[in-house]
Amino acid sequence: MAKVALVQMRSSTEMARNVRNAEALVREAAATGAAYVQTPEVSNIFEPDKERLRAVIAAEADDPLVRRFAALAQELEIHLHAGSVAVKADDGRIANRSLVFAPDGKIVARYDKIHLFDIDLPNGESYRESATYAPGETAVLAELPFAKLGLCICYDVRFPRLANAYANAGASVLASPAAFTVPTGEAHWHVLLRARAIETGSFVLTAAQGGDHDGGKSTYGHSLVISPWGEVLAEA
């Protein structure tokens, strides 16, 4: 398999700042010789307020991070995986969408998050992704020259059937960019991802959001590369 790199971010409510930060980190990763670079879930904007989010996002083709990543993939001659971006879907709703760019800058795979994070945590925090995002309906396998990637996003990793479907379709890698909360990350992050690797015999690559964000939310971080044996090969 080719050399890979995971970009850990702390995205804000300022899209322009996120694009600048993401570009700098992608360039740093590519400079190490990585042929595949992955960024976290919601790389373009971490905005918990639905109405503010709707006011600033664009359709996929007009999103600043999408446009920049297309150019970057071509310039750096890498496969660049925008872990996910919040974009306006064709029906006017909001999609949490993962995009894989080839070295020619073209999108070769797009996946909308299927399982949305609706949960009440013991510490009083509540999340209702379904109030903001439209769920995806289709699993997507990205066929790259060095591997077949099964595309997941964050909460998807809790559903083994999706990972197993990818393995049965020939995926050797599960790509699961994320923005786990701190409580769920401390309790479940490593065991979930190691379990998916072991049960499918796949590598797991997961770039994560990590740190304190605008609006008072915090994410767990701990971006991981995991072997099919369940061994953590790299961790941020």
Q: Would you put residue 35 in left (φ > 0), alpha (ψ -120 to 50) or beta?
A: alpha
Q: Look up 88 and say whether it is catalytic.
A: no
Report pLDDT digits (tens) over 119-158. 777 777 777 787 789 999 999 999 999 999 999 999 999 9
pLDDT of residue 118: 74
pLDDT of residue 123: 76
Q: Which of 41, 47, 60, 152 is catalytic?
A: 41
Residues lower than pLDDT 50 in the chain: none
pLDDT of residue 37: 99
pLDDT of residue 209: 98
Contact 154, 113 (CB under 8 A): yes
Q: From CA 108, how far away is CA 100, in angstroms rounded? A: 6
pLDDT of residue 91: 78
Q: Which of 23, 154, 186, 199 is catalytic?
A: 154
Q: Look up 47 and say whether it is catalytic.
A: no
17-25's contacts with Cβ under 8 Å and 24+ in sequence apart are 18/43, 18/44, 18/45, 18/46, 18/65, 19/44, 19/64, 19/65, 19/68, 22/65, 22/68, 22/69, 23/68, 23/72
Q: Look up 154 and say whether it is catalytic.
A: yes
H helices present in the chain, as ranges: 15-31, 50-56, 64-76, 160-168, 182-200
pLDDT of residue 50: 87
pLDDT of residue 122: 78
Bridge-based pairing of strands 173-175 and 147-151 is parallel
Domain boundaries, the chain: 4-235
Contact 207, 174 (CB under 8 A): no
Q: Which of 47, 60, 113, 152 is catalytic?
A: 113
- Rounded to the nearest 10 degrees, the angle between the axes of helix 160-168 and helix 182-200 is 30
**CATH topology (fold) of 4-235:** Nitrilase/N-carbamoyl-D-aminoacid amidohydrolase (3.60.110)
